Amino acid sequence: MSTCLSTTQAADKRELGFTLIESMISMFVLTIGLLTLAGVVGMAMASTQTAQQDLIAKQLANEAMESIFSARDSSQSQWININNVSNGGLFMDGWQPIKLAGADGIIGTADDGPAQVLNEPGADGIIGTSDDVARQLTNFQRTISIVPVLVNNAPNPTLRQLNITIRYTTPQTVAPKTYVLSSYISQYH
């Protein structure tokens, strides 16, 4: 019987549970995990709030790129004019406000019209109704850079690189964000 009693006593000692230090360490690890999870959720929320601004920047860059290709394809402009003003072309240098295309129908030129407005659906969620909200795009700027492509250290006369950069601010970010769209344009279409 004494053997049985000592086995029971040994089992009782193993089943005493966690010590206070073990409990504190596990609570600390759990707290670190929960704080990390809360940080990830916060970052995800911030990302979803800036997603609309990111999409607008992407669309503005695509719109400018399509305008340049359309100018070339429609013979609206000669190849020599598909360049920045500083190189004898049509397209404004430096940061410009987002404006509607002017009389020439080309975005980013000197004759651009008034500031572009984005119409968003109102409370009914349907665009084109009386409760739509007109939003000025004053927190967006665009630069169009057209540079020659070098071949053997000499500019290729029939190929240029287009870089369209959209710079914008969001309420959630301190520093401005940028979106860059790059492509090549050839004299031939």
In a domain, 10, yes or no: no
Structure token digits, residue 180: 């860059």
**Count of residues for the chain?**
189
pLDDT, position 8: 59
In a domain, 123, yes or no: yes
Are 118 and 135 in contact by the 8 Å Cβ rule? The answer is yes
Q: Phi-psi region for residue 103, left (φ > 0), alpha (ψ -120 to 50) or beta?
A: alpha
Domain count for the chain: 1
- The radius of gyration of the chain's CA atoms, rounded to the nearest angstrom, is 31
Mean pLDDT, 10 residues at a time, over the chain (189 residues)? 55 68 91 92 80 92 94 86 93 95 91 90 87 89 95 92 95 86 92
pLDDT, position 12: 57
In a domain, 6, yes or no: no
In a domain, 152, yes or no: yes
pLDDT, position 69: 93
* DSSP reduced 3-state for 88: coil
In a domain, 5, yes or no: no
pLDDT, position 43: 82
Q: Phi-psi region for residue 181, left (φ > 0), alpha (ψ -120 to 50) or beta?
A: beta
pLDDT, position 47: 74
Distance CA 165, CA 95 (A): 9
The domain of 131 spans 21-186
Burial of 79 (0-12, 13-18, 19+ CB in 10 A): middle
